Structure 1
Amino acid sequence: MFEGLGDVGSLTAGPWIYVVVVLSVLLDVFVPVLPSGVLVITAATAAAAGSGAATGQVPDEVPDILALTLCAATASVLGDLVAYRLAWRGGARLDRAIARSRRLTSAQERLGAALARGGGALVVLARFAPAGRSVVSLSAGATHRSPRDFLPWSALAGVTWATYSVALGYFGAQWLGATWLATGVSVAALFAAGAGATYVVRRKPA
């Protein structure tokens, strides 16, 4: 049952897994149903298996893990930037669409308040929440938030999310072996982080 993971692991030796990860993470800001987090975790688990991490040996292919993290983080920031710029130029039509959505309107208000206080933790938290990245990036652009207020937090969010996702897959393979069970547990941990982030983001400020 677990032999398929070895087949996935063979892809880490070539560039295609990175291309797929970049495209998935880049596009899921527009199509939040894309399983980019699951893909990153699966690739990290397979890379750990190929490096010997799952057997307790010293990894020989750690750059694969680093490259995977870099690709995921870079694609995350680029996707945020594209959504931000498109929303910035969206004009009255986008403003009307946002006004019809209670969720987007609320996100605009909360994002504006957070950035006005000089804090962007909301941007980082939203990266883990389902569709939160899309809502925050589009809202920041639609309200013409300064790039200096948004982009550094977007970069921090991308690096944090990518590092967490890759670490889940890598250390899951170390602790549980390079199996689909390890991947499932790691994905469950990612979803748990998303649920926690959603709860915090939706809480009304005191």
Structure 2
Amino acid sequence: MLECVGALTGSPWIYAVVALSVLFDVFLPLLPSGVLVITAATAAAAAGSGTGRVPQDVPDILLLMLCAATASVLGDLVAYRLARRGGARLDRAIARSRRLTSAQERLGAALARGGGVLFVIARFAPAGRSIVSLGAGAAHRTVREFLPWSALAGVAWAGYSVGLGYFGGQWLGATWLATGVSVFALFAAGAGAAFLVRRPREQPAG
């Protein structure tokens, strides 16, 4: 797999594959978009480290991160728009889902306090991106409330994923060990994010 991705790294196809994977995993959270981003970044970094011309590979890494972040935001917007226009049928579906209902409540409370950190944290949690994007649309949050935090979440997730793959490739080369360590770090961040998102808020005293 690393060899195949490595061969694609220098061609436009890798960016298209990454973008499509990230774009659609808001609807299919089982798509391994994070693993693909890490693998591509690992292959690119390892190729540069072997030649001693790392600066020439930096634009590839930056373009990879830009593609992943842009696709993340576009996918969020599509899910948000669909949920916003879903009408009563979608509202009933969300009402039957305890996770989506809870997400709506927490999202509303976070935005009411003027904070959208939940957007960023949830982007790392399994299926968190889907829940937040659909919940924001179903709750009829404005684009002004949703888009800036979605963009920040996309950039943070893409930067973290590409950074894991890049430094793993620099230190360990294009090996399964490098990819495995980086993917483990991504999953660890996801587990931590899931814990923070699900943790009940403290009730004010009195």
TM interval, short-chain normalised: over 0.9
Distance 1:148 1:125 in 2: 19
**Residue 12 (structure 2) aligned to one of 1, 15, 18:** 15
Percentage of pairs with the same residue: 78
Alignment RMSD: 1.1
> Which one-letter code corresponds to 1:129 in the other structure?
A
1:76 aligns with 2:63: no
Q: Which residue of 1 aligns with 2:47?
A: 50
Post-superposition offset of 1:174: 1.3
**Residue 140 (structure 2) aligned to one of 137, 144, 149:** 144
Post-superposition offset of 1:5: 2.5
**Residue 200 (structure 1) aligned to one of 186, 189, 196:** 196
Q: Which residue of 1 aligns with 2:175?
A: 179
Report the secondary structure of 2:52's partner residue: coil
Are the equivalent residues in 2 in contact too, given 1:87–1:141 (CA < 8 A)? yes
- Equivalent positions of 1:25-40 (< 5 A) are 25-40=22-37
Are the equivalent residues in 2 in contact too, given 1:47–1:170 (CA < 8 A)? yes
Post-superposition offset of 1:8: 2.2
Distance 2:171 2:48 in 1: 14
C-alpha distance after superposition, 1:121-169 (max 9, x if no partner): 0000000000000000000000101111111000000000000000000
Distance 2:138 2:168 in 1: 39
Post-superposition offset of 1:56: 8.3
Distance 1:56 1:199 in 2: 42
Structure 1: segments with no counterpart, 5+ residues: none
The runs of 4+ residues in structure 1 deviating greater than 4 Å are none
Distance 2:161 2:58 in 1: 15
Distance 1:7 1:155 in 2: 30
C-alpha distance after superposition, 1:89-147 (max 9, x if no partner): 00000000000001100000000000110000000000000000000000000010111
Are the equivalent residues in 2 in contact too, given 1:172–1:182 (CA < 8 A)? yes
Are the equivalent residues in 2 in contact too, given 1:6–1:49 (CA < 8 A)? no
Report the secondary structure of 1:61's partner residue: helix
